A and B are shown apart, each in its own frame.
Chain A
Amino acid sequence: MTARAGPTLLALSPSALADRPEATLRDLGATLEPDAVSVLGPSRDPQAFARARRAFDAPVVHPPLESGRGPLSTLALDTADETLGVSVAPDSRALRATPETVADELAASTPCVLVCDDVTTSVRPTALETTLEHADALASALPRDRVTTVLTGSEPAGYDELWHLASETGTVRAVDHDPFVACRSTNEDAVSVRLRGVGPVEGYGESTGVALVTLGGDGVERIETYDVTDFGLEAVSGIGPKTAARLADLGVRTRMELLETPTETLADLPGVGRGRARTLHQHARVLETGEPRRLTDESLPGENWSTPPLCLDIETDGLSPTIIWQVGVYDPATDEYRAFVERTDPSDPGSVLEAFCDWLLGIHPDRALLTWNGWRFDYRHLGAFIAKHVPYYADEWEAIPKFDLYLWAVGDDNAMLPGRTNALADVASALGYEDAGTGLDGARTAAAYQQFVRTGEALEWDRHEAYCEDDCRALWHVYERLRDGPRADSTASNTASDRSSEPSVESTDVPASGSSGRRRGPTSGDARNANERSEQTEQTGLGDF
């Protein structure tokens, strides 16, 4: 895992725990190494709580069942360096009961973090209004003139808004957006609540349910999400709950045990077969060793070219961009990185693109480009923006060969990758890439740029450029590891065709949608759309996939 600064709290939704083999939870614990675990409310689920207590070594809390001496209990997070406490309220009623006690306890605590799972927002579209439920309880019990971070399982991970409440009434004074850019309390009368979601994120009929909260400074440094099926046997592509249960009957509960089970045995399982048994082994090995594996003889995109492709990454001001303000290109041939950044006139989306196209078409007219999931984001938006803002380059841009490593590896089943998710940062990190530790992600850098556009205050340009460069270099790192990694051996040389000719077993059993960006095809709604290939993945976050 990436190095982390502070102690961590693992937030688990009860649905992620239900019917989950204990071995999976153990793998989850062993992989994420949380310092404490919270089984999310607001509903009581003693069974889920019991499961978690059995599976994890770290202290486990289930807020709805907490009723200690005071209104709050403290969850201690012990690390080698320090011990921090997180306050836990069973629900907002507990805050109302003795607000002064709560305020005193919180005021004395650092960091100032409260878990309260029934705090949530609700939307009233007929009034075009979003209300904060239990705002009055928060206003009465939280310390003033200071920002309290409230973690709630009732909002999805990724929810992050700063609510300023009148301390007497709980009336909403203002709501600051993007508190990760700037987070201050307003004045002495106000109670400032930075509400952060740790609940499941809704995907295509799937939800993540695992959030790892890293504490730091006076609150929460970051929150990462995972799908519980990224762990244990189910992390192996092709193993869903049904197959996992059958394997458990054979005494196979971990990936190591899977690898120790002969493929012949696996092949006898209903709906597995020889080809698939081999694939299960291969993927389990990839996950266990951290070594990628090529499944076919297919060469990497651009592998046979005389010069390698240029690794490309863009930064925008949002998922529906109005400007592509940074284009980063890493040239593996010369180990040079080039960034095109709009630092002065954000109202002009054309000049960065023009500079980029001048350079690309003038200096490297015969190179190919490489991205990570670029067809859903980088290529898509570059194409649209070039057509609109530098139309004289549109045809040349269209003609440039464009490759996508994610599509080649995952979409076309040419390789198996280690990493909990298929997000570039996860894959690269699993393959030993050490990033520059900018602490940024796509959403942050977009929000920061929006801030620059609004206020004219300069960004930390170096940091944001380093973030983009990181992704370009990480992409090449993954490429090299795949290029140099073991090829499909002769016995498995036709694995791909084997697989495709096999009946698709447990078709619902593909790994569920991943965390922070990895999304499979839609499983609800107009599912037929999934037949259009590039719709099989969906960019839902600004991070490179």
Chain B
Amino acid sequence: MSNHRSTDPTDVPITGDDLLETFPRYRDAEDVTVLELPGREAATVPPATVLRPELAASLEEALYTHQAEALEALAREENVCVATSTSSGKTRIYALQIARHVLEARARGEESTAYLLYPTKALSRDQERSLNDFFDTLDLEITVRVYDGDTEYGENRRRIREEADVIITNFAGVNTYLHDHDRWARFLSACDLLVIDESHTYTGVHGMHVAWIVRRLKRVLSYYDADPRYVLTSATIGNPGEHSEALIDEPVTVIDDDGSPTGPRELVVWNPPPRARQDGADDRDDWSQVSGRTDSTAESADDSAERVTEADADAVLERVPATVEAPRVLSHLAYHDAQTLLFTPSRKLAELSVKRAAKFRGDNRRTYVNPDRGSAIEPYHAGHSRRQRHGTEHQLKTGVLDGVASTNALELGIDVGEMDATVQLGYPGQRQSFWQQIGRAGRGAKRALSVLVAEHRTLDQYVVSHPDYLLEADVEDAVVDVENDAVFAQHVRCAADELALSEDDAGSFADRERLERAVEMWRRAGQLTGALETGVSYAGPPRPQQSISLYATAGEEYEVRLADGVDEGHDPEMEPLARERVLRDFHEGAVRLHGGQQYEVVAVDHGSPRPSVTVQPTNVDYYTRTRTDVTVLDAVSEESREIGDFTLHFGRGRVLVYHGTYDEVGIHDGTTKSRAIPTENPPLSMETQLCWLEVPKRLERGLVEKYREFSLPDLEDGLAETAHLGYAGGLHAAEHAIIGVAPLELMVDKRDLGGLATLSIDSHLDQDAGGDARDGPSGIGPDGSDDAPRNIAAAEATVREIAMDLEREPASGWFVYDGIEGGLGFARAIYDNYEAVAERARELIAGCDCGTVGGCPACVMDDQCGNDNQPLHREAAVDVLDQLLGDADETALEPYLPDEEYGGDRRPPLFYA
């Protein structure tokens, strides 16, 4: 398969050290770290020890130990989650289990079917082929067919339902097909195995919908007397067992002792060189991949502009973007005969990277004397036709291509053989994704090389300063929350439509009390009829399944459309957006960078049934930044625990978010060109999950004194000189950092989190806790969406009012909330893992080399900050986190404590998002 035949592990085209030596131009040694990872021998067992003789005999290779272990567990009727490395033969496990079932069933004169669920259509087609091939080699007549939105309608579909042994689809499909389960009676009755491939991809909003679709599917399967086993395959995540059990609501045996072989690996963490030019102000997570918007501006940043003097190097505010640097590394490795895969965050960047790789060669003729050498580099992404992608996959496998720049389309499962090297354009955001990608490099026992080219942003720079983070055994936990009632309620309607809800569902589909409340809610709304004891049917508008949006909690999912008359080639091909995201980032007039292309939002249609956002490509010298008012109201603590003198709470409450205005900010100099342009947005009111930390009084007093000299002369609100400003800046910075690093511990998207630092936590709590909390003190009615428009300012005023009226001195601290109606379980997961997250946050802030009090985008600045990243105080934040983590002596602040017990100024009711 490989075009490199040597078996000597050291005989590789280029090593990490070679790369450093040969790569043109100046490098600061501190900017690059090379890590060594040892290899692992294969651990195998003969197939006959696990499989029945006829299967074992037709299998050519031995089984890896984890494959054998999984098959043994399945033979014991257990469900398994296989969480092993890329290319460790996970598919083979369920393929063999299907073969077992089919052989057993046919011996009894019966049928056995399997339902396979993949996250992408491309993967479905790829696996259909390889499974059919595999069953051919086993000489088994097992029909594997894909059945999804691309499957031809009519007779063809009927045949698949009535004849296929194995059906491959996705969860959006299952959600729809459950409505007509009677047509699937043959297939479902015989179902012995349900496979959820790449199960780690199901987290957050999407994950909870999937968890409920699985529960609905289970009801229907059980109606047909089917009781299948489950196989989940997952990338290595921190909690494969817990995550799998949350998805399928069944006990699961975790198989994670990887028996597949891997060669040693060199891991190069590559921070691009600093540069002096001030044109990178737009460094806002994934919208900011290209700071120079066009090729010419990006490339003109080369050479002279890239170099900074030694004196500047202490305070690095900007570096060459990874979007420019990573294609260079790709080009360099390919030149040195290493077949290389570059991972890019977008389709556009995959295309652009190929061009940049070629240009880099041309611009450096002295280094690359033979520019055609190793220059067969192609892009790869889901925007290409299937045929084109297969061509590229084949050319990779056969060694015709020297390199490919790909989106994460090649991260999941698709077989392209093994590379010599991988390059990552930016840290992919999650360790599991990081490992999945670099797993593509490594030919058998030979050395593999992987280069991570860092962006200048929070997570990447954390990894640069703490490269050992990548090697830690723990990977992120995947979070799936089935507690969100907004999502639950939607699936209750669907379940009743599919089969009457009855007593049998109490305790299995959902616990009785919750199910009864949901049924009663929908009955009062006229959408369900009947009672659990006799059967509850759906009576609302036809096909409730169609109202499920797999990416939103409240059923409101916005489609992103291209404006009329724009060439379809510019289609950003974005996944649908939840309403919360639309209000923040996609108001009319917003300029967003997606896949290296600027888009302006030209229209937003909030109307049902099909809300949408219309964008058109643009080319302007500014980006937009939304100004946000956030406040938390009526928070009720459901659980709390002490961390030292601190108290941490988890609970529910209402978050009011108003993205009322936006600024246009110059890309090159970061100056505000236009200020406070109205977004015309309605405000957003969410009932959601929150966690909050109360800072002990004593610490607060010490820190207020320690930083009382801090002032921000241009701060609005007349609070520029207030004594609490430094301390408030510390809370604010700590809150940003906690949210910023949460993805290091948990599989969360930080855009789904929000925060609020406050000097008066108490005024955000339900003042009437224990009583009926429906009507908050602000007079905001139960249906916040209607009343909120008039009340956002009133709500903030109320919070201030409560603050003034509080009988006891309020605690200060910060909230972290799930920015999605009903919550996502992220705030809950942060509550459970607070110390670990806080530790990371502290390391991030203390380790940042920006050298400024107010921080930089790589540490405590946050592009989502509603307060324009002011006030922020890094040092004060570190002090708070040190005390929280017990790293600093309690007496450290003694010198600052005022003499009298209640000294100091009256606290202003400040709060910052």
Question: With a CB–CB cut-off of 8 A, which chain A residues contact B182?
Answer: 380, 383-384
The 8 tightest CB contacts between A and B, nearest first, are A318-B537, A322-B535, A130-B524, A126-B687, A525-B546, A125-B489, A320-B500, A159-B526
Q: Which residue of B484, B485, B543 is within 8 Å of A522 (Cβ)?
A: B543
Contact of B497 with A by CB under 8 A: yes
User: How far apart sit A443 and B489, CA to CA, in the bound complex (Å)?
Assistant: 23
Contact of B153 with A by CB under 8 A: yes
Contact of B486 with A by CB under 8 A: yes
Establish whether residues A175 and B525, one from each chain, have CB atoms under 8 Å apart when the complex forms.
no
Known: A124-B687, A160-B526, A321-B537. 20 other contacts (CB 8 A): A121-B524, A123-B489, A125-B822, A128-B518, A130-B521, A203-B541, A317-B534, A319-B539, A320-B497, A320-B500, A322-B535, A323-B535, A446-B530, A454-B533, A522-B542, A522-B543, A531-B154, A532-B153, A532-B157, A538-B543
6 A-B residue pairings within 8 Å (CB atoms) = A121-B524, A126-B485, A132-B524, A319-B538, A529-B176, A532-B154
User: How far apart sit A321 and B496, CA to CA, in the bound complex (Å)?
Assistant: 10
By CB atoms of chain A within 10 A, which of B517, B522, B543, B782 has the most?
A: B543
Question: With a CB–CB cut-off of 8 A, which chain A residues contact B520?
Answer: 130, 175
Establish whether residues B485 and A125, one from each chain, have CB atoms under 8 Å apart when the complex forms.
yes
Establish whether residues A453 and B534, one from each chain, have CB atoms under 8 Å apart when the complex forms.
yes
By CB atoms of chain B within 10 A, which of A122, A130, A204, A323 has the most?
A: A130
Contact of B523 with A by CB under 8 A: yes
User: How far apart sit A131 and B534, CA to CA, in the bound complex (Å)?
Assistant: 25
Contact of A450 with B by CB under 8 A: yes
Question: With a CB–CB cut-off of 8 A, which chain A residues contact B176?
Answer: 526, 529
Question: With a CB–CB cut-off of 8 A, which chain B residues contact A528?
Answer: 149, 153
Contact of A447 with B by CB under 8 A: yes
Question: With a CB–CB cut-off of 8 A, which chain A residues contact B524?
Answer: 121, 130, 132, 161, 163, 175
Nearest CB in chain B to that of A380: its residue: B182
Contact of B602 with A by CB under 8 A: no
Q: Mark contacts of B431-446 with chain A using CB atoms, 8 A cut-off: 1 yes-contact digit, 0 otherwise.
A: 0000000000000000
User: How far apart sit A129 and B521, CA to CA, in the bound complex (Å)?
Assistant: 5
Number of interface residues of B (CB under 8 A): 55
Establish whether residues A177 and B153, one from each chain, have CB atoms under 8 Å apart when the complex forms.
no
Known A155-B526, A320-B497: A525·B543 in contact at CB below 8 Å: yes
Question: With a CB–CB cut-off of 8 A, which chain A residues contact B99?
Answer: none
Nearest CB in chain A to that of B609: its residue: A524
List residues of A (519-545) whose CB comes within 8 Å of B's CBs: 519, 522, 524-526, 528-529, 531-532, 535, 538, 540
Q: Mark contacts of A366-405 with chain B using CB atoms, 8 A cut-off: 1 yes-contact digit, 0 otherwise.
A: 0000000000000010011001100000000000000000
User: How far apart sit A16 and B721, CA to CA, in the bound complex (Å)?
Assistant: 62
List residues of B (494-519) whose CB comes within 8 Å of A's CBs: 496-502, 514, 517-518
Nearest CB in chain A to that of B688: its residue: A126
Q: Mark contacts of B208-243 with chain A using CB atoms, 8 A cut-off: 1 yes-contact digit, 0 otherwise.
A: 000000000000000100000000000000000000
Contact of A480 with B by CB under 8 A: no
Contact of A297 with B by CB under 8 A: no
Question: With a CB–CB cut-off of 8 A, which chain B residues contact A540?
Answer: 541-542
List residues of A (488-545) whose CB comes within 8 Å of B's CBs: 519, 522, 524-526, 528-529, 531-532, 535, 538, 540
Question: With a CB–CB cut-off of 8 A, which chain B residues contact A130?
Answer: 520-522, 524-525
Contact of B159 with A by CB under 8 A: no
The distance from the CB of A169 to the nearest CB of chain B, in whole angstroms, is 11
Q: Mark contacts of A430-469 with chain B using CB atoms, 8 A cut-off: 1 yes-contact digit, 0 otherwise.
A: 0000000000000100110010011000000000000000
Establish whether residues A123 and B529, one from each chain, have CB atoms under 8 Å apart when the complex forms.
no
Interfacial residues, chain A to chain B (CB-CB below 8 A): 121-132, 155-156, 158-161, 163, 175, 177-178, 197, 201-205, 317-323, 346, 380, 383-384, 387-388, 443, 446-447, 450, 453-454, 519, 522, 524-526, 528-529, 531-532, 535, 538, 540
The dominant DSSP class at the A interface is mixed
Establish whether residues B185 and A387, one from each chain, have CB atoms under 8 Å apart when the complex forms.
yes
User: How far apart sit A156 and B539, CA to CA, in the bound complex (Å)?
Assistant: 12
User: How far apart sit A126 and B687, CA to CA, in the bound complex (Å)?
Assistant: 7
Q: Which residue of A128, A201, A203 is within 8 Å of B514 (Cβ)?
A: A128
Question: With a CB–CB cut-off of 8 A, which chain A residues contact B534?
Answer: 317, 322, 346, 450, 453-454
Establish whether residues B542 and A204, one from each chain, have CB atoms under 8 Å apart when the complex forms.
yes
Nearest CB in chain B to that of A453: its residue: B534
User: How far apart sit A61 and B149, CA to CA, in the bound complex (Å)?
Assistant: 49
Establish whether residues A318 and B500, one from each chain, have CB atoms under 8 Å apart when the complex forms.
yes
Nearest CB in chain A to that of B181: its residue: A384
By CB atoms of chain B within 10 A, which of A380, A532, A538 has the most?
A: A532
The distance from the CB of B634 to the nearest CB of chain A, in whole angstroms, is 12
- CB-based A-B contact count at 8 angstroms: 153
The distance from the CB of A150 to the nearest CB of chain B, in whole angstroms, is 14
User: How far apart sit A78 and B784, CA to CA, in the bound complex (Å)?
Assistant: 44
Question: With a CB–CB cut-off of 8 A, which chain B residues contact A159?
Answer: 526
Establish whether residues B821 and A320, one from each chain, have CB atoms under 8 Å apart when the complex forms.
no
Q: Mark contacts of B733-775 with chain A using CB atoms, 8 A cut-off: 1 yes-contact digit, 0 otherwise.
A: 0000000000000000000000000000000000000000000
Contact of B536 with A by CB under 8 A: yes
Establish whether residues A321 and B525, one from each chain, have CB atoms under 8 Å apart when the complex forms.
no
The distance from the CB of B367 to the nearest CB of chain A, in whole angstroms, is 54
Establish whether residues A125 and B526, one from each chain, have CB atoms under 8 Å apart when the complex forms.
no
By CB atoms of chain A within 10 A, which of B149, B154, B782 has the most?
A: B782
Known A123-B521, A540-B542: A318·B154 in contact at CB below 8 Å: no
Nearest CB in chain B to that of A530: its residue: B153
Q: Which residue of A121, A127, A203, A538 is within 8 Å of B526 (Cβ)?
A: A121
Contact of B610 with A by CB under 8 A: yes
Establish whether residues A123 and B525, one from each chain, have CB atoms under 8 Å apart when the complex forms.
yes
Contact of B430 with A by CB under 8 A: no
Nearest CB in chain B to that of A158: its residue: B526
Question: With a CB–CB cut-off of 8 A, which chain A residues contact B301?
Answer: none
List residues of B (565-612) whose CB comes within 8 Å of A's CBs: 609-610
Contact of B910 with A by CB under 8 A: no
Contact of B353 with A by CB under 8 A: no
Establish whether residues A126 and B526, one from each chain, have CB atoms under 8 Å apart when the complex forms.
no
List residues of B (805-856) whose CB comes within 8 Å of A's CBs: 821-822
The distance from the CB of A175 to the nearest CB of chain B, in whole angstroms, is 5
Question: With a CB–CB cut-off of 8 A, which chain B residues contact A155?
Answer: 526
Contact of B899 with A by CB under 8 A: no
Establish whether residues B533 and A126, one from each chain, have CB atoms under 8 Å apart when the complex forms.
no
Contact of B642 with A by CB under 8 A: no
User: How far apart sit A158 and B524, CA to CA, in the bound complex (Å)?
Assistant: 12
Establish whether residues B535 and A450, one from each chain, have CB atoms under 8 Å apart when the complex forms.
yes
The distance from the CB of A55 to the nearest CB of chain B, in whole angstroms, is 29
Establish whether residues A453 and B533, one from each chain, have CB atoms under 8 Å apart when the complex forms.
yes
Question: With a CB–CB cut-off of 8 A, which chain A residues contact B821?
Answer: 126
Question: With a CB–CB cut-off of 8 A, which chain B residues contact A529?
Answer: 153, 176
By CB atoms of chain A within 10 A, which of B182, B223, B524, B610 has the most?
A: B524
Question: With a CB–CB cut-off of 8 A, which chain A residues contact B526?
Answer: 121, 155-156, 158-161, 197
List residues of B (145-203) whose CB comes within 8 Å of A's CBs: 149, 153-154, 157, 176, 180, 182, 185
Nearest CB in chain A to that of B223: its residue: A388
Nearest CB in chain B to that of A126: its residue: B687
Contact of B490 with A by CB under 8 A: yes
Question: With a CB–CB cut-off of 8 A, which chain A residues contact B358?
Answer: none
User: How far apart sit A453 and B154, CA to CA, in the bound complex (Å)?
Assistant: 40
User: How far apart sit A57 and B531, CA to CA, in the bound complex (Å)?
Assistant: 44
Nearest CB in chain B to that of A321: its residue: B500
User: How far apart sit A160 and B525, CA to CA, in the bound complex (Å)?
Assistant: 9
Establish whether residues B489 and A318, one from each chain, have CB atoms under 8 Å apart when the complex forms.
no
User: How far apart sit A318 and B484, CA to CA, in the bound complex (Å)?
Assistant: 28
Establish whether residues B531 and A454, one from each chain, have CB atoms under 8 Å apart when the complex forms.
yes
By CB atoms of chain B within 10 A, which of A121, A197, A320, A538 has the most?
A: A320
User: How far apart sit A156 and B497, CA to CA, in the bound complex (Å)?
Assistant: 19
User: How far apart sit A124 and B654, CA to CA, in the bound complex (Å)?
Assistant: 13
The distance from the CB of B226 to the nearest CB of chain A, in whole angstroms, is 12
Question: With a CB–CB cut-off of 8 A, which chain B residues contact A446?
Answer: 529-530, 537
Contact of B783 with A by CB under 8 A: yes
User: How far apart sit A132 and B609, CA to CA, in the bound complex (Å)?
Assistant: 24
Establish whether residues B529 and A177, one from each chain, have CB atoms under 8 Å apart when the complex forms.
yes
Establish whether residues A320 and B535, one from each chain, have CB atoms under 8 Å apart when the complex forms.
yes
Question: With a CB–CB cut-off of 8 A, which chain B residues contact A318?
Answer: 500, 529-530, 535-537
